């Protein structure tokens, strides 16, 4: 139930649908960013995946947080080619595992599920800070969320701080030299372009903030 500062299945579904909505709205922009330092398909990949995720949610609404997060992860892994499908898919699958059989995630459980998702991305893609990837938006967001909750912030406020950190992390990818993924093939020519995956990752966190904006605190 939202009012206690927790994320139940409905709130997580709102998050996923909001991410699908903003990915569709930003599809062109994400693809243009990938045209500069990759193969011009990131917006197409993410939109295909999140459209499939939305369709799966409509067709078979999952019963709990773990089932929902795992359905999202499985759909992304199976429907998105390229680096981003397995990485985002792993993020959601690990979140689902971390959620366990809880009927709703309180702020601490949501933060540790996000941390588990991030750890999955790192295990799968081996990205480190400064490699110019989605990690550079996700990791600052996870850190800001943990710090905000540790300092006593409520969930909605903590998510606002996480979204701000994700956007700052996204912006900070522009001057970086890419060391992972297709952009790394460009070497110095990757410098000066914002990373597409960090851009979609900031959308993921801002979508979570939006979906849980009504939670108290």
**Which residues would be at the binding site for ligand ADP (CB under 6 A)?**
34, 38-39, 41-42, 45, 82-84, 87, 121, 125-127, 133-135, 180-182, 195-198
Q: Which does 17 bind (CB under 5 to 8 A by kind): Mg ion, ligand ADP, none?
A: none
Question: Going residue by residue from 34 to 53, which x/- string records binding to Mg ion, judged by CB under 5 A?
Answer: x---xx-xx-----------
Q: Which does 134 bind (CB under 5 to 8 A by kind): Mg ion, ligand ADP, none?
A: ligand ADP
Residue 197 and residue 181 in contact, taking contact as beta carbons nearer than 8 Å? yes
Residue 208 and residue 15 in contact, taking contact as beta carbons nearer than 8 Å? yes
How many residues does this entry show for the chain?
217
Q: How far apart are CA 205 and CA 87, in angstroms?
A: 15
In whole angstroms, how large is the CA radius of gyration of the chain?
A: 16
| Residue with smaller CB distance to ligand ADP, 32 or 106 | 32
CB of 40 to ligand ADP, least distance (A): 8
- ∠ CA 34-39-45 to the nearest 5 degrees? 75
Q: Does 195 bind Mg ion (CB under 5 A)?
A: no
Nearest to residue 15, comparing CAs of 217, 214, 206?
A: 206
Q: Catalog residues that contact Mg ion under the rule CB under 5 A.
A: 34, 38-39, 41-42
């Amino acid at each position: 139930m939202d009012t206690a500062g927790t994320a139940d299945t409905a709130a997580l579904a709102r998050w996923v649908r909001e991410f699908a909505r903003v990915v569709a709205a930003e599809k062109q922009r994400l693809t243009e960013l990938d045209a500069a330092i990759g193969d011009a398909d990131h917006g197409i990949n993410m939109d295909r995946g999140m459209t499939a995720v939305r369709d799966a949610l409509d067709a078979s609404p999952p019963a709990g947080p773990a089932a929902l997060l795992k359905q999202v992860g499985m759909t992304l892994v199976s429907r998105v080619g390229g680096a981003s499908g397995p990485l985002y898919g792993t993020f959601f699958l690990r979140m689902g595992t971390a959620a366990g059989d809880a009927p709703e995630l309180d702020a601490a459980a949501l933060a540790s599920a996000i941390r588990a998702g991030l750890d999955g991305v790192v295990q799968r893609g081996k990205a480190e800070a400064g490699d110019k990837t989605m990690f550079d938006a996700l990791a600052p967001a996870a850190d800001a969320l943990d710090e905000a909750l540790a300092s006593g912030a409520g969930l909605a406020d903590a998510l606002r701080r996480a979204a701000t950190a994700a956007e700052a992390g996204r912006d900070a990818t522009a001057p970086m030299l890419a060391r992972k993924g297709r952009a790394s093939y460009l070497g110095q020519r990757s410098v000066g372009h914002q990373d597409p995956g960090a851009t979609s990752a900031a959308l993921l966190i801002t979508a979570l903030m939006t979906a849980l904006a009504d939670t108290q605190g």
